[in-house]
Amino acid sequence: MFKKILIANRGEIACRIMRTAKRMGIATVAVYSEADSNSLHVGMADEAVPIGPAPPRQSYLIIDAIVDAAKATAAEAIHPGYGFLSENPNFAKTLDAADLVFIGPGARAIGVMGDKIESKKLAHAAGVNTIPGHEEAVEDAEQAIGIARDIGYPVMLKASAGGGGKGMRIANSDEDVRVGFAAAASEARGSFGDDRLLIEKFIVEPRHIEVQILADQHGHIVHLGERECSIQRRHQKVVEEAPSPFIDSATRDAMGAQAVALARAVQYQSAGTVEFIVDKNGRFYFLEMNTRLQVEHPVTEYVTGLDIVELMIRIAAGEPLSFDQGGVELKGWALEVRVYAEDPERNFVPSTGRLSHYRPPPQNDHVRLDSGVCEGSEIGMYYDPLMAKLITGGASREQAIARMSAALDEYCVRGVSHNIPFLAALVANAQFQLGDVSTSFVEQQYPNGFRSRSVVLRNPRILLVVASWLHHATEQHNVQISDKIPGTALRSRQYVVVSDDNEYAASVSYNGAGAQLEIDGEGYAIASAWTPGELVFRGRVNKEPVSVQVQRTGVLWRLTYQGHTALIGVFTPTVAALRRLMPVKEAADLSKFLLAPMPGLLVRVCVADGDVVSAGQELAVVEAMKMENALRAEQDGKVAQVLAASGDTLDVDQPILEFE
């Protein structure tokens, strides 16, 4: 077994690999860019080596820098995690030449499976079901249009060397192909250094289901069942689970057999994932093979009881698998959600800044957190905005969902925008709880975008009750502060509760550990040990456990529960009457400006001063978190002034153009 390994990655996956390595008694080496000098993975490692400036192309993607760091620290093997160099065959070849062990498959397997064209040919030859499409790279948009007409719309354009949703476009018409071809090729070139595209039939409302495989150096290959990864946004997974609520045992066996056959055909060694598209009738088709550790591997670990990172390390060290297919037993159910620094209410634009507060839920045998940040961490613009993965499990899917919902309610992040309310709303969604999902689930459920205040709670008055109790508890605390004029504990009080311009009559009778409340005559019993300043209310309302995110905003309470956010005011009747007389401040009119929706790099400005533009026309392209985002005109108009230039680094809401 290795004595020391280097992790050629950052963030949560670097931390996760280190945890297993330390448990195995293996010393760890971190590498870090200038932007990551104070990152969590650097502090967790036994040694850490700087490798360059913040941009990945100048640090985490520099093969020589990684090799030099390994040599300098006497590391024997390198784990690449996911992303960066994890699926770069040249990296595997270079490590082999440098007498370093790559904790992953061989360069040939990475190369063949990383090329969507070659992998599809190999899969077809191995007897794996494949999607109808063109088997060679498409030369230009016009050729793509001809192929699309032969296959029949809709079609998918996707980068041959790609993954993670980058370089992918769905086209429903010739014009979609023309526009999508250029955009997908540009994105592929920027992300992978390879702008080749392939085209294939797009399966309408498919499920995205993948099979985890393990293969050692002695010819033993097993699969560990499937993961349901259908809930996606922009082709990137948001919620994953194991097993799939859609797959029966016969389909599971068939998919697993094909995944193993493909791995054997490419002489695979290590952990890998074979991804399939499954239509509504249960027919499945090969999509791609990821020759690395997957982000969502923890759900498989929960239902199998195996540590996939440990098995990758043991396979790389030459050990045979200690079990065969008959030894793989699936028990229980697990969910994983990806916690991103992004703003769901602004079309999920990435968010940057410092984590002023970071309080994850308590962990136990059924609640796991793989985090790459901590309180005080800086979220920058150079890397993927994934902060952590939250995993919950149980004996049943219902139990795993209930634990996820409770954990998300307790997960407190401040300082950056984040998607926790969106995730909480997803797992509380009735259609999700039935397992009725597809890759278009998010678009179907939120066609006009996600709005936390629009999420419907099962008990819509729960936050009115909590707000009333919080306000009363705060007043109780305030009258007991030392050096104040002596007051009397407020045993009972009448309030007017205001939410969304609706007013409710409330009364609170406090009795130490709990209180009796009435909202418009409806009674509630509430008990909690919450004290002013705590970020999460934990208590019971009518004996049911409730956790609510708490933030004081001026005179209002900002509360978030099960994905719903409400601004609630609690006032005495006198103050409420005066408040009704207050004028409402109108928001500034910014309709004449094109604003940067996110912090990022202004790749290009497509118009000039005085240009007349039409609705839908591309005005500018902003790159953030390795993705290009086209900004388009919402209506016809005329450009008065261009306020930023290509190459500028933009702040969120920074004006790019002004219209007449």
Closest CA to 282 of 206, 392, 334: 206
> What is the tens place of the pLDDT at every residue in 193-216?
888 998 988 888 899 999 999 999
> What is the tens place of the pLDDT at every residue in 316-327?
999 999 999 999
> What is the tens place of the pLDDT at every residue in 550-588?
999 999 999 999 999 999 999 999 999 999 998 888 877
3-state secondary structure of 140: coil
Give the CA radius of gyration of the chain.
Answer: 27
Is residue 288 annotated as part of the catalytic site, yes or no? yes
**pLDDT, mean of residues 151-167:** 83
What integer pLDDT is reported at residue 552 of this predicted model? Answer: 94
What integer pLDDT is reported at residue 491 of this predicted model? Answer: 64
> What is the tens place of the pLDDT at every residue in 28-80?
999 999 999 999 999 999 999 999 999 999 999 999 999 999 999 999 999 99
Going by pLDDT thresholds of 50, 70 and 90, the confidence category of residue 425 is: very high
Q: Lowest-confidence range among 267-281, 481-495, 618-632? A: 481-495
Residue type for 493, please? Answer: R
Instruction: Give yes or no for residue 510 having a pLDDT over 90.
Output: no
Q: From residue 643, give the alpha-carbon distance in Å to each of 382, 398, 651, 656.
A: 24, 52, 13, 5
Write down all domains in the chain, each with its CATH number in brackets. 4-103 (3.40.50.20), 105-131+206-235+243-330 (3.30.470.20), 133-201 (3.30.1490.20), 332-450 (3.30.470.20), 462-579 (3.30.700.30), 593-659 (2.40.50.100)
**What is the percentage of the chain residues whose pLDDT exceeds 70?**
97
First and final CA of the chain: distance in angstroms?
68
What integer pLDDT is reported at residue 81 of this predicted model? Answer: 97
Cα-Cα-Cα-Cα dihedral sign, residues 41, 42, 44, 47: positive
3-state secondary structure of 461: coil
Interacting residues of 375 by C-beta distance below 8 A, sequence separation 6+: 355, 356, 357, 358, 359
Ramachandran assignment for 122, one of left (phi > 0), alpha (psi -120 to 50 degrees), beta (any other): alpha
Interacting residues of 305 by C-beta distance below 8 A, sequence separation 6+: 329, 331
From CA 477, how far away is CA 490, in angstroms rounded?
A: 10
Interacting residues of 89 by C-beta distance below 8 A, sequence separation 6+: 107, 108, 110, 111, 114
Residue in 288, 336, 475, 628 annotated catalytic = 288
What is the chain's mean pLDDT, rounded?
A: 93
> What is the tens place of the pLDDT at every residue in 276-310?
999 888 989 999 999 999 999 999 999 999 999 99
Phi, psi dihedrals of residue 19, rounded to the nearest 5°: -60, -45
| Inter-residue contact 262 to 286 (CB < 8 Å) | yes
Residue type for 429, please? Answer: N
Tokens 């955009």 belong to residue = 183
Going by pLDDT thresholds of 50, 70 and 90, the confidence category of residue 601 is: confident
Tokens 């050096």 belong to residue = 483
| Inter-residue contact 243 to 252 (CB < 8 Å) | yes
> What is the tens place of the pLDDT at every residue in 465-500?
999 999 988 988 887 777 766 655 566 789 999 999
Instruction: Give yes or no for residue 610 having a pLDDT over 70.
Output: yes
- DSSP for 569-631 reads EEE-HHHHHHHTTSPPPPPP--TTEEE-SSSEEEEEE---TT-EE-TT-EEEEEEETTEEEEE
Instruction: Give yes or no for residue 625 having a pLDDT over 60.
Output: yes
From CA 515, how far away is CA 526, in angstroms rounded?
A: 5
**What is the percentage of the chain residues whose pLDDT exceeds 90?**
78
From CA 453, how far away is CA 571, in angstroms rounded?
A: 21
**pLDDT, mean of residues 85-100:** 97
> What is the tens place of the pLDDT at every residue in 68-86?
999 999 999 999 999 999 9
Q: Where are the alpha helices (DSSP H) in 193-328?
A: 249-265, 297-304, 308-316
Going by pLDDT thresholds of 50, 70 and 90, the confidence category of residue 515 is: confident
3-state secondary structure of 240: strand
**Tokens encoding 260:** 């193993």
From CA 406, how far away is CA 396, in angstroms rounded?
A: 16
Instruction: Give yes or no for residue 375 having a pLDDT over 60.
Output: yes
What integer pLDDT is reported at residue 490 of this predicted model? Answer: 61
Specify which residues 564 forms β-bridges with. Answer: 561
| Inter-residue contact 437 to 231 (CB < 8 Å) | yes
| Inter-residue contact 514 to 521 (CB < 8 Å) | no
Going by pLDDT thresholds of 50, 70 and 90, the confidence category of residue 442 is: very high
Going by pLDDT thresholds of 50, 70 and 90, the confidence category of residue 163 is: low
Q: Where are the alpha helices (DSSP H) in 416-531?
A: 420-428, 430-433, 441-445, 462-478
| Inter-residue contact 638 to 611 (CB < 8 Å) | yes
**pLDDT, mean of residues 529-545:** 94
3-state secondary structure of 384: coil
| Inter-residue contact 468 to 497 (CB < 8 Å) | yes
Cα-Cα-Cα-Cα dihedral sign, residues 75, 267, 23, 377: positive
> What is the tens place of the pLDDT at every residue in 638-660?
999 999 999 998 888 899 999 98
Going by pLDDT thresholds of 50, 70 and 90, the confidence category of residue 161 is: confident
